[in-house]
Amino acid sequence: MEGGMTTDPQVFHDGLIVVDGCTVCNHFQCSYADPQVYNVTRKYFQQWVDGGVTMAHVTVATWEDARETLNNITRWNRVFRDHGDLVLLATSAADIRRAKAEGKTAVVMGFQNASPFETDLGLVEVFHKLGVRFAQTTYNIQNHLGGSCYDPVDGGLTRFGTFVLGEMNRLGMVMDVSHVGERTALDCIEQSSAPVVATHANPLLFFEHKRNKSDDLLRALAGCGGMIGLATYPALCPKDTALKDWCTMVARTVDIMGIDHVGIGTDYADGWTTEDAMTINMWRWSHEADYGAHTKDNPGWDSMPDWWPSPAAFSNLTAGLLDHGFAEDEVAAIMGGNWMRIVGTCFGSEGRT
């Protein structure tokens, strides 16, 4: 890692392909009866464009079943119609490059749970055809596919999980293990014929949290050609983490995984109430406000750090990494180049149907 900044950081940032490997994007929409109504405002999309975000992987399901998820996808289709001057649906590397050329943000849809697949393997292909390109094995509890990082016992990838993983590999849908138990995640990596990723997590060495990843899992992700998207979300970081501390975490993760396997996945959401945060963490399966990234004492959604208050501040990460001593080509890889490799490898350059 040798610093070699030759241009103004903002000018350098403006020329990059910048990827947010996971943003919740005010996904909490399933309480709306009308699927044409959505609560993602134009301000959000303008922040992406202002921050130079070329691609954002957005969450369209966490606990929803197939029908509820179809409502959320319907809402996103409405977004693409209403705000097509700022965002476009992306299912391929070509779509993302087009967004860069047009000054827009390419939106890639993904699931933070396998619940939309229910127990029907055929639904994997259905949602792939609708544009979904990422799916997480489990969210905050064990499901039909495997164990969550919050489960006291992780039984590993199930038989159905193996079938779903195989179908995702066939179609070009990426398996995400961000909230997944370590044994299940390692099973996914061992059995997958394509790279496996953690779209939004941090290393355990940086902060002790059930969602953060051990060195062994980080090395396994790198070994299968996968990667991690490092989060700015405060619940996954030590209290009062400064930008220089976050960049030191990036450097240590690169030491473990290699420069080709580290990117960004902010886990950002905007304007959520405590009720919103509790619902996305617990859904209908618990009455206790002590699941997910939050606790009974702190059930609300944490405010983002002052050095990254919104996607409009993505250039701060570029500047911070350059200041830390990363070379320009390394910063380009972390800010988006590595995610583009995953997209090209798994989606295909022109997408797959």
Query: What is the distance between the alpha carbons of residues 148 and 295, in angstroms, rounded to a whole number?
Result: 17
Q: Where are the beta strands (DSSP E) in the chain?
A: 19-23, 55-61, 87-89, 105-111, 132-136, 174-176, 197-201, 227-230, 262-264
| DSSP secondary structure of 35-81 | TT-----HHHHHHHHHTT--EEEEEEESS--HHHHHHHHHHHHHHHH
pLDDT score at 270: 75
Query: What is the distance between the alpha carbons of residues 104 and 88, in angstroms, rounded to a whole number?
Result: 7
pLDDT score at 297: 73
pLDDT score at 293: 72
Tell me the pLDDT of the chain (353 aa) as tens digits: 655 556 799 999 999 999 999 998 755 444 445 555 566 778 989 999 999 999 999 999 999 999 999 999 998 999 999 999 999 999 999 999 999 999 999 999 999 999 999 999 999 999 999 999 999 999 999 999 999 999 999 999 999 999 999 999 999 999 999 999 999 999 999 999 999 999 999 999 999 999 999 999 999 999 999 999 999 999 999 999 999 999 999 999 999 999 999 999 999 987 667 777 777 777 777 777 666 776 677 766 678 899 999 999 999 999 999 999 999 999 999 999 999 999 999 996 554 44
Query: Distance between alpha carbon 10 and the CA centroid of its chain, in Å?
Result: 24
Q: CATH number for 9-347: choose from 3.40.1410.10, 3.20.20.140, 3.40.50.150, 3.20.20.100.
A: 3.20.20.140
Domain regions of the chain by residue span: 9-347
